Amino acid sequence: MKLAQRGEFGIIAALRQRSAAAPGLITGIGDDCAVIAPQPGEQLLVTSDMLVEGVHFRWDWTDPVRLGRKCASVNLSDLAAMGATPRYLFLALALPGDLDTAILDAFFDGFLSVCGEHGAVLAGGDTCASSAGMTISVTALGSAATGTALLRSGAVAGDALFVSGSLGDSALALQQLLAGKRPESFLAQRHFDPTPRVNLGCALAQTGLATAMIDLSDGLLADLGHLLSASSVGARIEIETLPLSAAFRQALEQNQALIDLALSGGEDYELLFTAPAAAAALLADLAQKSATPITRIGTVLPLVNGLQLFANGQQRPLPAGQGYKHFAGGPESCILGNVCAVQEDAARR
């Protein structure tokens, strides 16, 4: 069936049937607004992210289930970056009328599966017709105990710098796709179905171990730059300590220049955070409990030092064009990053 036959109300009715009840959600899908009752002692955190066909995804590379999963996951990653527990998601879709409803149903399958994995629910949204391609806008609300949300601005000189998971896998997959190759399954999964580090993010906020945090959507150096400028500090990164997957290391053996993907490639959706160096043992414990590897990659320095890269004790220059910038033009400015920083920042203030 084509979408035009099912219509907007058909879509909403189907989603309403699939949406679960949730604590604090007084009224969900089916009225003009969702009604949410914040719990005493909690703060709500709100983030938005948009994915546009041809800009953020291509149907010849991805499938609707993984696309739905990624749309939810990238928003949950922003909540994780501040230590918020995911609660309510809102989904706005602009859809071409000739879209097959089976594709839309598979997209919802993926989206709702990620919500379910993290105890969050779809609480509302909007659908409208698109004259070309599909546009997906997600708004996610999370909660955190008052005063525990982790900002980018708390790092101090002397803190250690840590990152979760591994770096560069998603960017390597993208590079292979752009070259017409099929990435192997681990790399493809890292690119098309990233894992938001929700458990780790919440644990870091609840324990108070971290001083500042951000998620990696635009690349390690770019996102580290955001954290450093928000905290008015510098940092030193030891390249040989960067956590790399077996698949990434294998590619790196063939081409040493690929290390730049771990430094500057986008869409890792890992957490980058700072903590006192003395917290390392407690952090190792927390990594085990949240089943998420944590690696120390450097040290926070006073602002005057700027951002320094070291490889085996030798300083090396920062790679040119680090990180991903929307509207920058060029062949890679289309299919890469996932976060419109302006929108994201506006939602946070």
Stretches 169-177, 180-188, 196-204, 207-215: which one binds Mg ion (CB under 5 A)?
207-215
- CB–CB of 38/88 below 8 Å? no
Closest approach, Cβ 136 to Mg ion, in A, equals 17
Could you tell me the two tokens for 21? 């009840």
- Looking at 49, 78, 193, 270, which residue binds Mg ion (CB under 5 A)? 78
| Closer residue to Mg ion, CB minimum distance, 215 or 267 | 215
Distance of alpha carbon 25 from its chain centroid, rounded? 25
**β partners of residue 314:** 311
Should residue 267 be labelled a site residue for Mg ion when binding is judged by CB under 5 A?
no
Give how many residues touch Mg ion by CB under 5 A.
2
Hey, which residues between 225 and 264 contact Mg ion (CB under 5 A)? none
Could you tell me the two tokens for 316? 């090396």
- Looking at 193, 215, 218, 267, which residue binds Mg ion (CB under 5 A)? 215
Closest approach, Cβ 349 to Mg ion, in A, equals 14
Cα→Cα distances 60→53, 64, 67, 147, 268, Å: 11, 11, 12, 44, 22
Long-range contacts at 276-285 (CB < 8 A, ≥ 24 apart) = 276/158, 276/159, 276/160, 276/211, 277/158, 277/159, 277/160, 279/160, 279/209, 280/160, 282/207, 282/209, 283/162, 283/209
Annotate 164-177 with b (16+ C-beta within 10 A) or e (fewer): bbbbbbbbbbbbbb
| Closer residue to Mg ion, CB minimum distance, 215 or 268 | 215
| Closer residue to Mg ion, CB minimum distance, 82 or 187 | 82
DSSP letters for 110-140: HHHHHHHHTT-EEEEEEEEE-SSS-EEEEEE
Stretches 101-109, 151-159, 189-197, 209-217: which one binds Mg ion (CB under 5 A)?
209-217
Closest approach, Cβ 78 to Mg ion, in A, equals 4
Stretches 2-10, 178-186, 212-220, 243-251: which one binds Mg ion (CB under 5 A)?
212-220
| Closer residue to Mg ion, CB minimum distance, 45 or 65 | 45
Hey, which residues between 298 and 317 contact Mg ion (CB under 5 A)? none
Stretches 71-79, 136-144, 275-283, 299-307: which one binds Mg ion (CB under 5 A)?
71-79
Could you tell me the two tokens for 133? 């391609």
The crossing angle, in degrees rounded to 10, of helices 280-289 and 198-207 is 140
Closest approach, Cβ 217 to Mg ion, in A, equals 5
Stretches 25-33, 153-161, 213-221, 241-249: which one binds Mg ion (CB under 5 A)?
213-221
Closest approach, Cβ 31 to Mg ion, in A, equals 31
Stretches 70-78, 199-207, 252-260, 293-301: which one binds Mg ion (CB under 5 A)?
70-78
Closest approach, Cβ 319 to Mg ion, in A, equals 21
| Closer residue to Mg ion, CB minimum distance, 227 or 247 | 227
DSSP state of 208: T
Closest approach, Cβ 82 to Mg ion, in A, equals 9
Closest approach, Cβ 339 to Mg ion, in A, equals 5
Q: How many residues does the chain have?
A: 349
First to last CA, the chain: 43
Q: Exposed (0-12), middle (13-18) or buried (19+): which is 331, by Cβ within 10 Å?
A: exposed
Which residues contribute to the site for Mg ion (CB under 5 A)? 78, 215
